[in-house]
Amino acid sequence: MPSVKKLTDMGWTTADALWYYTPLSEPTLSSELERLSFAQTIKDTDVVSFQPCPDPEQYSQDRYVIQDWALPNGIWTFRAIFDGAHSGMLDYHRNINLFQPQGHAGHDTVDYTKDRLPDIVQKELLKMLGKGDGYTPADVSDALTRAISEFDKSIGEALLKLFPDADALAKLSDEEIHRVISSQRVNQDIILHCERGTTVLISLVSPVKSDIWVASLGDCAAVLGTTDSAGEWSATVLSSAHNGENEVEANRIRSEHPGEPECMLDNRVLGAIAVTRAVGDFSFKLPAVYTERVLFNARPDSVMPDKVRKYIGRNLTPPYMTGVPDVKHLNLSALGSEKTVMVMCSDGLVDLSDDRLKLHEVLSKAWVKLVGEHYGDGQNLALRLLRDALGGEDSEKVSRMITVEMGFRWMDDTTILVQRL
């Protein structure tokens, strides 16, 4: 007998709207969540990548990479998540086009990064190993930093090769600018890679799993779970939160732009974007003329929203965003842990929790506790984390989250990797 649909306000009591959803019972609920989240296990890593909105134009802008590299000194494991749509952008969910010119909306940069950056990291490692005199943890950290920051820099340099002189650019007509952009497909791609952006979260594990490095750029999260001699699990956060809610990041930007009170506004860079570090998003890295005349003006029929015009006007002394990551290292051998897991996720998992601002104090411990409870029982641990975040054993809530009939996103893209080390 088919389920009877119900109505929900999704907890948005101010929305003055109701939507239908379909209550699901077991085992249909679990199998549907597994299908929608593309749950699978690749090598030693459980994976889900979830965006339930059925509109094909709203499919997930998260990407992930799972690779093992046979390098001269053994097998290195590379795991990465790239999030092409920042949290906080969902404030504009009723009109997606409003925030696309502000960066991080669109698949171009995240796809380009997923396809190119892993090889660049591997080449930096090979270069380091090729020196033949051994390496230190700092050498690997430097290689990760160099690979990511130079990759980001190359995206902006490609645009500057098309329009090297900001003063001359300001004097070009729209037709002249469009002629340069449209002359070759590669030029159009260059513009899109600069206009849009992505976060980066990379974990790199050395041969025999002796050391781990985590490079973070943006607001994805990485948590290492380990056990002590009594078998008790503990959690260590290895990522950094690069967003305006992090006072360290916000104050860093303020200190770099004295006399500009609107360089951070409403916990956003220039009042426009949540993250403070990312690949791409050159509206926040280049002079305003590049955004106004090239990035936004690349589409001849575009009309600039007031929100975009305001943040361009605040761009006085760029860059306001950086492509330099934080890199952290841990010696896994020294921990003496019998069981070790790495939980990596896009910020969608964080945003599903009421404790989204308490990654260190609450969320990391809860994730590791849940993973530890199901470690070794054959479950997909990433799927277990996703199910818990969507409502756990509350089948009504989980059903609502995966079947509600909305024409726009009601939750952020959510990707989770759980690697058994």
Residue that has been written with the tokens 């669109």 in this structure: 106
DSSP H stretches of helix in 56-184: 108-129, 137-162, 166-171, 174-182
Cα 212 from Cα 204, distance rounded (Å): 6
Contact 77, 419 (CB under 8 A): yes
pLDDT band, very low/low/confident/very high, at 104 (cuts 50, 70, 90): low
Average pLDDT of the residues in 169-179: 94
Query: Residue 365 belongs to a domain with what CATH number?
Result: 3.60.40.10
**Other CB atoms within 10 A of residue 17 CB:** 10
Average pLDDT of the residues in 218-242: 96
Q: Considering only CA atoms, which of 305, 317, 239, 299 is closest in space to residue 272?
A: 305
pLDDT band, very low/low/confident/very high, at 306 (cuts 50, 70, 90): confident
Contact 122, 69 (CB under 8 A): yes
Q: Tell me the CA end-to-end span of the chain in Å, nearest whole number.
A: 45
Question: For position 166, what pLDDT does the model report?
Answer: 96
Question: For position 96, what pLDDT does the model report?
Answer: 31
HSE, side-chain direction, 13 A CA sphere, residue 400: 18
pLDDT band, very low/low/confident/very high, at 307 (cuts 50, 70, 90): confident
The DSSP secondary-structure symbol of 317 reads: S
Contact 108, 196 (CB under 8 A): yes
Report phi then psi at 31, rounded to 5: -70, -35
Cα 165 from Cα 186, distance rounded (Å): 20
Cα 39 from Cα 189, distance rounded (Å): 31
Task: Please give the residue range of the domain that contains residue 319.
Answer: 6-420
pTM of the entire predicted model:
0.94
Report if residue 399 sits inside a domain. Answer: yes
Report if residue 1 sits inside a domain. Answer: no
Cα 79 from Cα 85, distance rounded (Å): 19
Higher-confidence position of 35 and 101: 35
Cα 23 from Cα 394, distance rounded (Å): 11
The DSSP secondary-structure symbol of 25 reads: -
Rounded to 5°, angle at Cα 343 from 359 and 136: 100
Burial (CB count <10 Å: 0-12, 13-18, 19+), residue 138: exposed
Cα 382 from Cα 40, distance rounded (Å): 9
Tally of domains in the chain = 1
Rounded to 5°, angle at Cα 254 from 248 and 287: 125
Average pLDDT of the residues in 44-55: 96
pLDDT band, very low/low/confident/very high, at 383 (cuts 50, 70, 90): very high
Tell whether the model's pLDDT for residue 95 goes beyond 50: no
For residue 46, what is the enclosing H or E element? strand 45-50
With the C-alpha atoms ordered 104, 108, 114, 118, is the resulting torsion angle positive or negative?
A: negative
β strands within 218-339, DSSP E: 221-227, 233-237, 264-265, 268-269, 279-280, 326-331
Question: How is residue 230 written in tokens?
Answer: 């009594």
Question: How is residue 12 written in tokens?
Answer: 């948005």
Q: pLDDT tens-digit profile of 53-62?
A: 998 888 899 9
Tell whether the model's pLDDT for residue 282 goes beyond 60: yes
- What does the mean pLDDT of the chain come to? 91
Report if residue 235 sits inside a domain. Answer: yes
Tell me the residue type at 18: L
Cα 279 from Cα 193, distance rounded (Å): 9
Burial (CB count <10 Å: 0-12, 13-18, 19+), residue 145: middle
Give the chain's length: 421
Cα 217 from Cα 243, distance rounded (Å): 10
